[in-house]
C-alpha cells in the first residue's frame, strides 16, 4: 500500500497533525465560513510570501517563508520557481529554480538550498531546452536580495540544542513543544521557528538543527 496512506498531514492554519491509517479514516475539521480546510502533506516544503500586496508585481522583492512539513521519516522537499512574469526572457534562462530539502540523520536535521536549473538545464523551462544555464543571469541578479525571512519546521519532536547556518553563525529560534512527525497519534506537533536566517533564495546554503 502507498506511503500516502500512512503519511502525516498538517493543518496549514493551526499546524495540527492528522495521521493516515492502513484502513483509511475520516476526520472532521472545524472551519470558519471564510476559510477552507487546507492541509500540507508531510514531506513537503512550501515557500510562501506572507505580506499582503495589491498585485503580484509588487511582491517581486518580498521575502519568503519556508514551511517545512516533516514526513514520518523526518524528511521534506519542495521547489521554488521564479521569473519576471512579464516577458519571454525565461526562454533564454533568466530564471531562478531552487530545490529546498530537509533530511534527518541521527540527531541532526539539515535544511539545504540547491540550484535545480544548473542541475537540470534541459528541464528548467517548459517548452524549451536550455543547453547551458547561467546562475548569475539577469533575472537572478535583479532578485539577488530576496531572502528567506522565516522557516517553520513542523513535526519537530524535541527542543534543539542549537540551530546554525552551516559554516557561519548561530541563528535565533523558538520552539513550541509537541509531537514528532513520526508519532502515531493525531494532535499538536512540535514546531520550530527559525527567525530571519539571513539567507537568500538565489544562493546555496545549509541550516543545521542539532538535538
Alpha-carbon distances, residue 115 vs 26, 35, 55, 112, 119 (angstroms): 39, 35, 27, 10, 6
Give the long-range contacts of residues 99-104, CB within 8 A, separation 24 or more: 100/45, 100/47, 100/66, 100/68, 101/45, 101/75, 101/76, 101/77, 102/45, 102/68, 102/70, 102/74, 102/75, 102/76, 102/77, 102/153, 103/74, 103/75, 104/70, 104/73, 104/74, 104/75
pLDDT digits (tens, 9 = 90+) for 130-163: 888 999 999 999 999 999 999 999 999 999 999 9
Alpha-carbon distances, residue 99 vs 34, 164, 184 (angstroms): 33, 20, 29
Assign 1 a pLDDT band (cuts: 50, 70, 90).
very low
- Average pLDDT estimate for 19-47: 87
pLDDT digits (tens, 9 = 90+) for 35-74: 888 999 999 999 999 888 888 778 889 999 999 999 999 9
Higher-scoring residue by pLDDT: 172, 128: 172
46 vs 100: CA distance, rounded Å: 9
What's the pLDDT at 99? 98
Average pLDDT score, the chain: 91
The answer on pLDDT for 16 being more than 70 is: yes
Amino acid at each position: 500500500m502507498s506511503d500516502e496512506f500512512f503519511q502525516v498531514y498538517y493543518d496549514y492554519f493551526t499546524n495540527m497533525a492528522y495521521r493516515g491509517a492502513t484502513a483509511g479514516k475520516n476526520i472532521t475539521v472545524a472551519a470558519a465560513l471564510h476559510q477552507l480546510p487546507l492541509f500540507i502533506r508531510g514531506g513537503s516544503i512550501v515557500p510562501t510570501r506572507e505580506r499582503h500586496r495589491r498585485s503580484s508585481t509588487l511582491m517581486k522583492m518580498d521575502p519568503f517563508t519556508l514551511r517545512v512539513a516533516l514526513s514520518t521519516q523526518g524528511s521534506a522537499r519542495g521547489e521554488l520557481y521564479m521569473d519576471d512574469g512579464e516577458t519571454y526572457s525565461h526562454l533564454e534562462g533568466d530564471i531562478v529554480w531552487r530545490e529546498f530539502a530537509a533530511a534527518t540523520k541521527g540527531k541532526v536535521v539539515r535544511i539545504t538550498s540547491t540550484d535545480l536549473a544548473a542541475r537540470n538545464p534541459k528541464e528548467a523551462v517548459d517548452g524549451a531546452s536550455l543547453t547551458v544555464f547561467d546562475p548569475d543571469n539577469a533575472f537572478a541578479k535583479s532578485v539577488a536580495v530576496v531572502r528567506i525571512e522565516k522557516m517553520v519546521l513542523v513535526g519537530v519532536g524535541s527542543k534543539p540544542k542549537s540551530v546554525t547556518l552551516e559554516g557561519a553563525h548561530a541563528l535565533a529560534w523558538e520552539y513550541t513543544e509537541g509531537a514528532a512527525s513520526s508519532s502515531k497519534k493525531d494532535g499538536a506537533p512540535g514546531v520550530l521557528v527559525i527567525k530571519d536566517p539571513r539567507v537568500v533564495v538565489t544562493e546555496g546554503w545549509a541550516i543545521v538543527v542539532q538535538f
